[in-house]
Amino acid sequence: MTADTDQDIAALKRIGRICAHVLRHMMKAARPGMTTGELDDHGRELLSAAGARSAPELAYDYPGATCISVCPVIAHGIPGDHVLEAGELIHIDVSAELEGYFADTGASMCVPDRNKAGTSPVAPEVRRMLEATRAALSKALAAAQAGQPLNSIGRAVELEARRRGYNIIRELTGHGIGHHLHEAPGEIWNFPDPRDRRVLQEGAVLAIEPFLTVGQGHIREMGDGWSLRTADNAPAAQFEHTIVVTRGHPIVLTL
């Protein structure tokens, strides 16, 4: 959608703040011994308390309020009986609707060790990948300016990934969002496509989400029909924000 009015911006900020709040509290709640289903229940309760509805359930009849993916699954992981372990790399994606407006956010993290004051036994190579993916998102946000090619976003992600020695999962993309979970301008690639002539418009509402991996950068759908894992079982990371494009730095709705 294009956010044309102050009412649009205010409504998008409301659902963006809710998604950010739920993601933050789910990340804080994740601990060893908890199942991904229990973590999803926590997210559902938070969404309900805010008056919001799970976007994947609403739009696609998805079997969970949020997506919780356990490495090597990188997207659309179904919450269930999996018991979290300290140091395990997981990805939480929260998207929701309020008053006809949608927002989407996500983050990767390692499950903390509850016996060591919230610390997490994160392998150095995983920590570097998380830092690189955050940096790629930051570069992408800075590139998302009205009047610039939409390809500027993908170019920024790809350059940062290459600079830090990572590959992009090319099949996974960002997307337009606003009055629906996925809408115009369609897919937002994390690499520049020379055939793509789209130009960023002021007020465009976008979900930008780089996916970086140490592996080859391909995915495979699992037997549940939802979960997407890296084809080579390599670890990967994802961070996501929903934004409104402006002539300068975008309005980040999901901080």
Domain boundaries, the chain: 6-252
In what side-by-side order are the strands of the sheet with 167-168? 167-168, 211-213, 236-238
7 vs 123, residue with greater confidence: 7
The 10 Å Cβ neighbour count of residue 157 is 29
H or E segment to which residue 159 belongs? helix 151-164
Average pLDDT, the chain: 96
Query: What is residue 185's predicted lDDT score, i.e. its pLDDT?
Result: 95
Whether residue 242 has pLDDT greater than 70: yes
Percentage of the chain beyond pLDDT 70 is 97
Query: What is residue 115's predicted lDDT score, i.e. its pLDDT?
Result: 66
Which pTM was predicted? 0.96
DSSP E strand stretches across the chain: 53-54, 67-70, 73-75, 89-98, 101-110, 167-168, 174-176, 183-188, 205-208, 211-213, 219-221, 228-230, 236-238, 241-244, 251-252
Query: What is residue 123's predicted lDDT score, i.e. its pLDDT?
Result: 86
The mean pLDDT of 47-64, rounded to a whole number, is 98
Query: What is residue 113's predicted lDDT score, i.e. its pLDDT?
Result: 85
Query: What is residue 116's predicted lDDT score, i.e. its pLDDT?
Result: 61
When mean pLDDT is compared across 107-111, 121-125, 175-179, 183-187, the lowest value belongs to 121-125
DSSP E strand stretches across 25-88: 53-54, 67-70, 73-75
Question: Which CATH superfamily does the domain covering 6-252 fall into?
Answer: Creatinase/methionine aminopeptidase superfamily (3.90.230.10)
Query: What is residue 122's predicted lDDT score, i.e. its pLDDT?
Result: 80
H or E segment to which residue 138 belongs? helix 124-143
Whether residue 120 has pLDDT greater than 90: no
Query: What is residue 3's predicted lDDT score, i.e. its pLDDT?
Result: 97
